[in-house]
Amino acid sequence: MGKDSELFVGLDASKLKISVAVAEGERSGEIRFFGDISGEPASVASMVGKLAKRGAKLHFCYEAGPTGYDLYRQILELGHHCEVVAPSLIPKLAGDRVKANRRDAVSLARLHRAGKLTAVWVPDQTALPPENWIALS
């Protein structure tokens, strides 16, 4: 894989583990499950390093959720592109309601490669934490 190639990486993130899937940049390129890793920053850095060794440009994405934006910020600090996507805007087949980390990661990688995901705005670290928010009533 050369410098001109791209990999689209779908991450199904939870507090304890992250399921990782990779889609090669070509339209008919292979999509495969890479594996599960710990949610620890060291495990994420190791996974990113392994994928980066291939020389391809990396594009990461994961669903916005309770895990926050630390994963997003870590991937950016490692020098790669990352998007946090809106869960309610992810295209799903009718009746597809079963939650499976592996399948969700593969789906995210495929949809990210196809450009069918909607990114959300990620606040910077200087934004006020929720305990400082003022409730509007």
Positions of E strands within 5-129: 6-13, 17-24, 31-38, 57-63, 81-85
Q: How far is residue 7's CA from residue 26's CA, in Å, rounded to a whole number?
A: 9
How is the chain split into domains, by residue range?
6-132
- Angle between the 70-77 and 41-52 helix axes, to the nearest 10 degrees? 40
Q: How far is residue 34's CA from residue 8's CA, in Å, rounded to a whole number?
A: 12
| 82 CB-near residues (< 8 Å, 6+ apart) | 59, 60, 61, 62, 71, 72, 75, 76
Across 10-24, 44-58, 92-106, least confident range? 92-106
Which of 98, 70, 97 has its CA nearest to residue 84? 70
Tens digit of each residue's pLDDT (9 = 90 or more) over 80-90: 999 999 988 88
Tens digit of each residue's pLDDT (9 = 90 or more) over 108-131: 999 999 999 999 998 877 765 666
Helix (H, G, I), strand (E, B) or coil at 109: helix
Distances (CA, A) of 131 to 29, 64, 73, 128, 134: 45, 20, 21, 8, 8
Distances (CA, A) of 90 to 21, 37, 78, 105, 107: 16, 23, 26, 12, 9
Tens digit of each residue's pLDDT (9 = 90 or more) over 22-35: 999 888 889 999 99
Where residue 17 falls among pLDDT bands split at 50, 70, 90? very high
- pLDDT given at position 137: 47
Say yes or no to pLDDT of 70 above 70.
yes
Is CATH 3.40.50.2020 the right assignment for the domain spanning 6-132?
no
Output the average pLDDT for the chain: 88
Q: How far is residue 107's CA from residue 132's CA, in Å, rounded to a whole number?
A: 36
CA 34 to chain centre: 13
